[in-house]
Amino acid sequence: MHIIKNPSSEKWSDLLKRPTQSLENIESKVNEIFKEVSSKGEQALLKYTQQFDGISLPNLNVSPQEIGEAKNLVPEELQQAIQQAKENITKFHAAQKTGKINVETQKGVQCWQEKRPIQKVGLYIPGGSAPLFSTILMLAIPANLAGCQEIVLCSPPNKEGKLDPAILYTANLCGVTKIFKVGGIQAIAGMTFGTESIPKVYKIFGPGNQFVTVAKQLATKYDVAIDMPAGPSELLVFADETAKTNFVASDLLSQAEHGADSQVILVSTSEKMLQEVKEEVKKQLESLPRKQIATKAIQNFKLILMNTEKSALALINEYAPEHFIVVSKNEDFFIDGIKNAGSVFIGNYTPESAGDYASGTNHTLPTNGFAKQYSGVNLDSFLKSMTFQKIDATGIKNLGKTIELMAEAEGLHAHKNAVSLRLKSLE
């Protein structure tokens, strides 16, 4: 964890590389599993669940009995916390609703846009050492608000062949229609092709490791859309001398504990701040239950000293972080100037954990630099915009000549004729 001082822009590309495997190392395994699930269906899913999760299951379905039992296993206090988070997330996403847009572009020509829900969506919920029931809130709530008819959830089972009670409780609370015990590449393949029990969906949502990310990208070759390439978690913090050192260290470690391939970066114009946070990270790391995972991630920790806030902002926009925390006396400079980030957290008392769980914003965000062209999940992620138009006799008279001239110029005479016939009928 050494401090990198004022790197030139020519070095930014190498400096800001994510600690990810090359696609060549992953794609062959993903293709192999997709091919087998496509041909063998449920049989392949059960095989890979045994291979990767170490459990032999008779089937992948979560029964109503298991869902009922889960509620009794989730502590009342946690249920109340989930309820509060649900209220905030619902409030924020419901506010994103937009109505019908109706415009008469010229006399007799009516154009409008309406939004329709995606009928079948698949939610991937990571499990393993950290069952992310919070991701269900982030995905199922907007799916329900949008009006999706079928909401399918897949999550890897534990060694007892079960899903975490909090996952089942939250899924039931948020209106998930079908739940399956299957994870990883095979879960994405199952929702892509459909199997004896898992429906084929139209769009897949949810974060995951590098294998899940590549699997989602492969799914797009089989007529399935995805939310975004959301892979290993990442956080960049800008902190000046107004930041509280222990807060900054805790935020960095909160991301590092996600997984060994997570990445955390601290940028500052103060070398003293960088040095103090470096020491505080070491100190806090010792008391973490997930110390082993966080320690591996911290190996990718970068501390970067920049001469000016302007150069720091330029570097941050080049990195395009999934999560961006800014603690600065000039916070407006960063708020106004940030162009590429999944979600922004402002000030000493806004931990990234708030967005992960309960403030109201969505935590399913673009990683690996995709914040340059992707948005995080929002209500519109579960909707399609459809346009409509209606032209009456007056409208076709007013617009017809324009269409004829343009169609003829492009050499598309059948297009022109479709208008000419209508105009002639009105003579």
Q: Is 258 annotated as a binding residue?
A: yes
362 Cβ neighbours under 8 A, 6+ residues apart: 89, 93, 138, 142, 343, 355, 376, 377, 378
Residue 105 neighbours by CB distance under 10 Å? 13
Provide the token pair at 102. Answer: 């109706």
Quick one: tokens of 174? 């948020």
Residue 356 counted as an annotated binding residue:
yes
Q: Give, as one character, the DSSP assignment of residue 158.
A: -
Q: Return d(Cα 161, Cα 344) in angstroms, integer.
A: 38
Q: What is the C-alpha to C-alpha distance for residues 108 and 86, in angstroms, rounded to an integer?
A: 46
Q: Is 233 annotated as a binding residue?
A: yes
All residues at 6 or more sequence positions from 142 whose CB lies less than 8 Å from its CB, including other chains: 93, 362, 377, 378, 379, 381, 382
Asked if residue 357 belongs to a known ligand binding site, the reply is no
Give all strands of the β-sheet with 120-124 in edge-to-edge order: 178-181, 150-155, 120-124, 203-205, 225-226
255 is in an annotated binding site: yes
164 annotated to a ligand binding site: no
410 in a known ligand binding site: yes
**Residue numbers annotated as active site:** 322-323
User: Is residue 186 part of an annotated ligand binding site?
Assistant: yes
CA angle, 422 as apex, 420 and 425 as ends, to 5°?
Answer: 110
How many whole angstroms separate alpha carbon 173 and alpha carbon 134?
12
- CB atoms under 10 Å from CB of 65, counted, come to 8
Binding site: residue ranges? 124, 186, 209, 233, 255, 258, 323, 356, 410, 415
Binding site for NAD(+): residue ranges? 124, 186, 209
